[in-house]
Amino acid sequence: MTEPLWWQKGVIYQVYPRSYADSNGDGIGDLAGVAARLDYLVDLGVDAVWLSPIFPSPMADFGYDVADYRGIDPRFGTLADFDALRDAAHARGLKLLLDFVPNHSSSEHPWFLESRASRENPKRDWYIWRDAAPDGGPPNNWQSYFGGSAWEWDAATGQYYLHQFLKEQPELNWRNPDLRAAMLEAMRFWFDRGVDGFRIDVLWLAIKHPDFPDNPANPAWREGMQDIERLLPAHSADQPEMMEIIAAMRDVTDAYPERVLIGEIYLPIPRLVAYYGARGNGVHLPFNFHLLDATWDAAALARLIAEYEGALPAGGWPNWVLGNHDKPRVASRVGPEQAAVAMMLLLTLRGTPTLYQGDELGMPNVPIPPERVQDPQALREPDTAFNRDEVRTPMPWDASAHAGFSTVEPWLPLNPDWAERNVMAQRDDAGSMLAFTRALLQLRRAHSALSVGSWHAVSSDGAVLAYERRHGADRVLVALNLSDAPQALALPDWAVTLAPVLTTPHHDLRAEGATLLLAPNQGILLL
C-alpha cells in the first residue's frame, strides 16, 4: 500500500457553523467562534473540519441556498475571518473542508435574477425551465423533498422552474457549459484560497433525465411516509451523465495536491460505490450513510459491513457516518445506553469516519417547542415525525449562561440538560462520552491497524458484533455488546493474549482468558 493520505487515515468532524460558537453576541454561531474552538478539536483528536455552508445566503434553508459561491455571509463573518480560520486550522495541523452546493442556488443569486428576467436572457438556460403541461399544470409529476410539486410557476416569463427543495432553491442546469464552467471556477476560487476539499451537497441529484419524464409510483409507499417517497426518483436522480460532471470536478481538484471530494449521496450500496468512478475519477469518498438507518443488531450490522466492504471498487477508500445535521442523533436512535457502543463502532470500522458535532457529548435529539421551529422542511411538512432543528441546537460548551455558546439567547434552544451535558463538564470526567471519544481517537491515531488496517469479521452470533483490524503485526479486536444483557464471546486463538485497553464508559476492563465477558451495552477493544 502506498503511504495513506490524510483523508484516509484521518477523522472528519462536521461543524454546523450556525450552532458551534457565537463570537459577537447575536445568538448565531460564526467563523470567529469556530476559530476560537479549534484547540478543542485538536485536543479531541480529529484531523479535518467540514463546515456546512458559510456563503452569502438568504438562509431560506440555512445556507443551502447560496446567493454567492465566492463570499462569506456577514452573519458568519468576512473573507478575512475565513482566511484567519484557515490559517489557524492549518497552524494546528487541521484540514478545512467547505460545503459545495452545485444542485441549486438561492433564488436571490444574481444568476437566477438574470435567468428569470426573460426567456432571452443569456443565463436563462443556467437553470431548468420548462413549459407547462397541456393542462397548464407542472411539466411532470416530480415532487420536492420538502413537500409539494418540484415545479414553481413564473408568471412573468410563463414557464415553470425546477426545485427539488424549496422554491427559493432553483436547480442549476449542469448541461449548460457556461454554468458548468462558472461552478468549476467557484471550486477553484476556494482551492486557491487554501481549502482542503469539499463535501458536495446532494451530488446524486445534480443532473436530471434530459426529457423530464414522469417518475414512476413507489409500490412501497405507505401512509406516514414523506410525499417525495410516493414516487421512485428514476428520472430525477442518479443519472448516467452524473459521472462525467464529477470527473470534471475531479479534474479541477486534482490540479491541487491532496485535496478531497466527498459526495453527499443517499443511494443503495451497489449504486453508491459507482460514485468512486469507473477509473477512480469519481469523488474520493461517496458518503456512506448506511449506518444511519441500519437495524441495530449484530447480524444486520455484520451483513452491512460485509456488503459494503465487498462492493468497494479496487482502490476505493471506505467511509462511515453516524450522524449529520439532517438526521436524528445516534444517541436518540440507538438509545443512550448504546451511544458509546455506536461511537466505538464508528471509530473502529475500516475507513474514514465523519463525526457530527455534539455526538462526542452523547447529545440526543433536542425537543423544540412549536413556536421555535425554524427548519423549513418541518415547517412545510409539520406531520413528519422528525424536525432537523432537533439536531442543530447550539454546542453546549460550559455551565455559564447560554452554555458558553453565546452571550444572548441562541437561535435555537439548548439541550435541556446543558448545565451537565457540556464540554467543560465532560472534559475532566473520565467516565464521559467525551473522554471515551477522545480515547478512541487517540488509539486510532496510535495504531495503524485502526487507522488503515484491514477489517475481518470475528463473530456476529447473537448480540455481540466482534471484528478484527489488522495492519502488519498490529492486531486489534473490537467486541460490541449490542444488547442490554450480559454476553460472552469465545475469543479466537490469536486474540487470547491481547490486552483489553479500552471499554465504554462505566464498564470494567479485565483480562478473561479465552472467554470475553461483556456487560450489558459494553464495548471492549483489545490489542
Site residues (CB under 5 A) for Ca ion?
A: 22, 24, 26, 28, 30
Q: Does 468 bind ligand NOJ (CB under 6 A)?
A: no
> Is residue 30 a contact partner of residue 75, using CB atoms and an 8 Å limit?
yes
CB 406 to Ca ion: min, Å: 7
| CA nearest to 448, candidates 477, 468, 466, 469 | 469
From CA 489, how far away is CA 480, in angstroms rounded?
Answer: 10
**309/326 with CB nearer ligand NOJ:** 326
Residue 443: exposed, middle, or buried by beta-carbon count in 10 A (0-12, 13-18, 19+)?
A: buried
Residue 273 binds which of Ca ion, ligand NOJ, none (CB < 5-8 A, kind-dependent): none
Place of cell 437561535: 411
CB 49 to Ca ion: min, Å: 18
Q: Does 61 bind ligand NOJ (CB under 6 A)?
A: yes
Residue 64 binds which of ligand NOJ, Ca ion, none (CB < 5-8 A, kind-dependent): ligand NOJ
**81/264 with CB nearer ligand NOJ:** 264
> Which of these is catalytic: 22, 196, 201, 389?
201
Q: Does 465 bind ligand NOJ (CB under 6 A)?
A: no
**165/308 with CB nearer ligand NOJ:** 165
Q: Does 512 bind ligand NOJ (CB under 6 A)?
A: no
Residue 517: exposed, middle, or buried by beta-carbon count in 10 A (0-12, 13-18, 19+)?
A: middle
Cell of 369: 417547542
Query: Hey, how many other C-beta atoms are within 10 angstroms of the C-beta on 428?
Result: 9
Residue 168 binds which of Ca ion, ligand NOJ, none (CB < 5-8 A, kind-dependent): none
H/E element, 439: helix 433-446
CB 329 to Ca ion: min, Å: 24
Q: Does 412 bind ligand NOJ (CB under 6 A)?
A: no
CB 27 to Ca ion: min, Å: 7
Q: Does 165 bind ligand NOJ (CB under 6 A)?
A: yes
**35/243 with CB nearer Ca ion:** 35
Q: Does 201 bind ligand NOJ (CB under 6 A)?
A: yes
Q: What is the CA radius of gyration of the chain?
A: 23
**18/86 with CB nearer ligand NOJ:** 18
From CA 73, how far away is CA 437, in angstroms rounded?
Answer: 32
* Catalytic (active site) residue 108: no
Query: Which amino acid type is present at position 384?
Result: T
Angle separating helix axes 242-254 and 177-192, nearest 10 degrees: 30
Alpha-carbon torsion (49, 55, 61, 62), positive or negative: positive
**Binding residues among 254-273 for ligand NOJ as defined by CB under 6 A:** 264
> Which of these is catalytic: 264, 375, 381, 468?
264
Q: Does 64 bind ligand NOJ (CB under 6 A)?
A: yes
From CA 343, how far away is CA 434, in angstroms rounded?
Answer: 10
> Is residue 152 a contact partner of residue 161, using CB atoms and an 8 Å limit?
yes
From CA 516, how far away is CA 527, in angstroms rounded?
Answer: 13
Residue 234: exposed, middle, or buried by beta-carbon count in 10 A (0-12, 13-18, 19+)?
A: middle
**203/260 with CB nearer ligand NOJ:** 203
Q: Does 202 bind ligand NOJ (CB under 6 A)?
A: yes
Residue 348: exposed, middle, or buried by beta-carbon count in 10 A (0-12, 13-18, 19+)?
A: buried
**208/392 with CB nearer Ca ion:** 392
From CA 285, how far away is CA 316, in angstroms rounded?
Answer: 8
Residue 22 binds which of ligand NOJ, Ca ion, none (CB < 5-8 A, kind-dependent): Ca ion
From CA 180, how far away is CA 245, in angstroms rounded?
Answer: 8
Residue 196 binds which of ligand NOJ, Ca ion, none (CB < 5-8 A, kind-dependent): none
Residue 26 binds which of Ca ion, ligand NOJ, none (CB < 5-8 A, kind-dependent): Ca ion
CB 99 to ligand NOJ: min, Å: 8
Q: Does 55 bind ligand NOJ (CB under 6 A)?
A: no
- Name the residue number minimizing CB distance to ligand NOJ: 64
Alpha-carbon distances of 336 from 165, 363, 368, 369, 517, rounded to whole Å: 32, 9, 19, 22, 21
CB 472 to ligand NOJ: min, Å: 38
Task: Out of 108, 114, 227, 326, name the contact with ligand NOJ by CB under 6 A.
Answer: 326
Residue 326 binds which of ligand NOJ, Ca ion, none (CB < 5-8 A, kind-dependent): ligand NOJ
* Catalytic (active site) residue 3: no
**76/165 with CB nearer ligand NOJ:** 165
Residues that bind ligand NOJ (CB under 6 A): 61, 64, 101, 165, 201-202, 264, 325-326
Report the catalytic residues: 201, 264
